[in-house]
Amino acid sequence: MVTAVRTRIAAALTTAITAGVALAAAIPAQATPSLSPYVAMGDSYSAGSGILPPDLTVTPVCARTTRNYPNLIADALGIESFTDVTCANAKTQDFYDKQYPSLIPQLDAVTQDTKLVTLTIGGNNNDTLIKVISSCITAGTGTAGFGSPCKTLYGDKFTNDISNKTYPDVKKALTDIHAKAPSAKVVILAYPQVMPEDNSNCFLTMPIAKGDVPYINNIQDTLNGVVKRAADETGTTFVDMQSSIGHDACKPIGTRWVEPAVWGTNFVPIHPNALGMEKMAEQALAAIGG
């Protein structure tokens, strides 16, 4: 068992390092000066929570990895001045207040000299992602995967919260980033696909009722939609992760970009794996270079 785990970790590290080298080779060196300093902000989907090796410079509760997409971007661009303040469970409020005593408010890392900012944010506002996944797993387990119990219980609650509360919070956060770093390129990424787009399910690894799969997809589409709207209205570059469709948590290892709730490879489930981080880095780099 221990040998198998070590083998998986070694394979993951090799893949991540290889991806970093490939990304670095794809970006011209002359792009570096105009994009440094670089500040990475955001939540667990930016921190790469659950992927090894951990970033030992930050409190363990942030579950940050040194192989998250911000690190891959910094490596690819050869950026020398790089600050990563990403942390699991971060909300937009944590841009202004300390999420934990040992951390600074994330926005404090941004200065007028900052030239590049990347982030994912909004999924934890109103505890949306936590409530959606945990509530739907509980409901789905209770019906042995039949029906749409989560939709029946919660209806439009999640999408209403996203549209009425998360959207203005994300827009304010982006506006304030631009105000602090007026010459920076600010890039916000969509959340990659968690459940299958064809509304199929994989109950043994993602115990969500079949009828709730489209319900969850609609919630995620709504979230990504308000992030895009906020980005468009603030002059922020939006990275559409439509390429993640077909690489959801129900797919096998090597195809999926997001790990399932059960029998996954990450120690934090329902989050991007190392391959997912590589793909998010690729999409962001394409947008940064565009």
Query: Mind telling me the catalytic residues?
Result: 44, 271
Strand partners for 89:
none
3-state secondary structure of 109: helix
Phi/psi class of residue 66: alpha, beta or left (left: φ > 0; alpha: ψ in -120 to 50)?
Answer: alpha
Q: Helix 2-26 and helix 274-289: axis angle, to 10°?
A: 10
Do the beta carbons of residue 42 and residue 83 sit within 8 Å? no
Phi/psi class of residue 200: alpha, beta or left (left: φ > 0; alpha: ψ in -120 to 50)?
Answer: beta
Do the beta carbons of residue 151 and residue 209 sit within 8 Å? no
Burial of 123 (0-12, 13-18, 19+ CB in 10 A): buried
Do the beta carbons of residue 123 and residue 46 sit within 8 Å? no
d(C-alpha 216, C-alpha 289), whole Å: 33
Burial of 18 (0-12, 13-18, 19+ CB in 10 A): exposed
Report the half-sphere exposure of 163 (CA within 13 A, side-chain side): 9
Rounded alpha-carbon distances, angstroms, from residue 2 to 5, 8, 29, 122, 224: 5, 10, 41, 37, 39
In this structure, the dihedral spanned by the alpha carbons of residues 165, 171, 176 and 179, taken in order and rounded to 10 degrees, is: -160
